[in-house]
Structure 1
Amino acid sequence: MGAVQQVCPSPWRAGLLFPGCPGTRTALGVAAVRQPQTEMTWGRGRARRACRPQEELPNPRLSASASAQEPTGELKAPGTYQRHYRNVFHAFFTIGKVDGLAALQKGLAPALLYQFLMNGIRLGTYGLAESRGYLRTDEGIHSPIRSAAAGALAGVMGAYLGSPIYMVKTHLQAQAKSEIAVGHQYKHQIFPPQSWKVALAAAMVSGIAVVLAMTPFDVASTRLYNQPTDTHGKGLMYRGILDALLQTARKEGFFGMYKGIGASYFRLGPHTILSLFFWDQLRFFYSTYTK
């Protein structure tokens, strides 16, 4: 293979067509992590590796300097390892075919958190320095040296605090089925299998879901029970549960249906958590000791 030559990225590759679209960039990031040698070939024996933008949101950096850290062919001579991905488009197709379309969005949650930490701290710190006047001299003249120093400091702080989240994102995006896996495969698990912590965490999430689903109906039932009635016992304010919900939402807004949600959680939350937790544990003990 001929010499690899750096070329500048086109606007498309630089991500200019994807402003503010974390989902799209996360899909690009999955392909980038798994497909480290992004090459576009013109003619036999010539390949040009496109230089990558230093800022990608929230993709892994694709600069040539990071290629040594990417997984395919790590510490192996060219031609001695199998290449699963020929280019970025082939990586999209292969990942979607083998791992499923959802795999293209692996690492989206830590990617969003990474952007919140890195860019929030970086831009916020620089903006604070600018608003306090630290970037200007005593004569009120803007100082390029102070601006560069403030930008460097803000960048260091953002990168330092965002690096752990970036590592987690990379681990998640590199995960793949064995037939297309490259590099080390981290299998992160929050809790060990069959742990009581899994049942407890699931029950806590279920408790939140139950409260969110039930609170509007609790509000409606309370108002139906509490409304004034005529001499025949017919309600004077609401015709039924649907009418109560519609009137509440129309006059008090969407959040009017969630009045008292705190009290509802302390009533339904512990009940749901304890019921599901003990039910799961009893089933586990039953299946264990009746074999």
Structure 2
Amino acid sequence: MATSDFVLGGLASVGATFFTNPIEVIKTRIQLQGELAARGSYVEPYKGIVHAFITVAKNDGMLGLQKGLVPALYFQFIINSFRLSIYTTAVEKHWMHNKNGEISYGLGLMWGAIGGVVGSYCSSPFFMIKTQLQSQAAKQIAVGYQHTHTSMMGALSEIYKKNGIVGLWRGSLAALPRAAVGSGAQIATFGKTKAMLQEYDFVTHPTYNSFCAGLIAGSIMSVAITPPDVISTRLYNQGVDAQGRGLYYKGWLDCCFKILRTEGVYGMYKGFWANYLRIAPHSTLVLLFFDELIAMRQKYQ
């Protein structure tokens, strides 16, 4: 794995996160509203994406739309450093190619999932803090369990003092299905789509090719990742008792069953459009920035 690819993968995601974090805040709030309540039985402070933007800006201020930005940058840098560097290594070593020399979608899924799982586990504490900070809101629009963090470092210190290293990695194993599904779908689709667009002369310009492939990959990813993303958001945001055990859910499967039982299939797709509007442009920008940074590195070598 090239060190430069590791760094470039992280930098590409950091650039994209500045643009997409506000929609991530909206997505988190929508996923948490009506937690474990039947549809139509609760007050909805966020009645759609546009209304949610206005509501957050009005009650939390414009800076409220960038809540959790710092841990989000750390999370994105770490997870995408692993994902994208593993992806490029797999491509360069021809680990993603079949016997005919073509990129295999199945192998792309496998290597994308591996990169996502490694990156997700290593970056898990920052994803948890990001989620908890993004959910914090003014009392009149608060949804989900409300933590009292004032900063990323304060949150990390508080959790470590109460529950140690285990507390910082709480929910990390449950987040692995999210990472495997989302990353696998994105990386496999991106590699295969790039090759097909070039092979059939649809989009051959390198920048446009990366942009189109990234957009398609992000669309596929958003459909695949929403249910495990809802579960991860709920698990990371829930409060814990004195022994560090979750107040609402015991784990991934328990969370899944409780959501389906109380909220139905609809609950598993809460925040889908917000997720799509975040993932599609974020995926496009990350993969585009990454390809452009790789091209720049090769140009000046």
More helix by share: 2
Larger Rg: 1
Higher RCO, 1 vs 2 (CA within 8 Å, ≥6 residues apart): 2
Give the TM-score of the pair, scaled to structure 1: 0.43
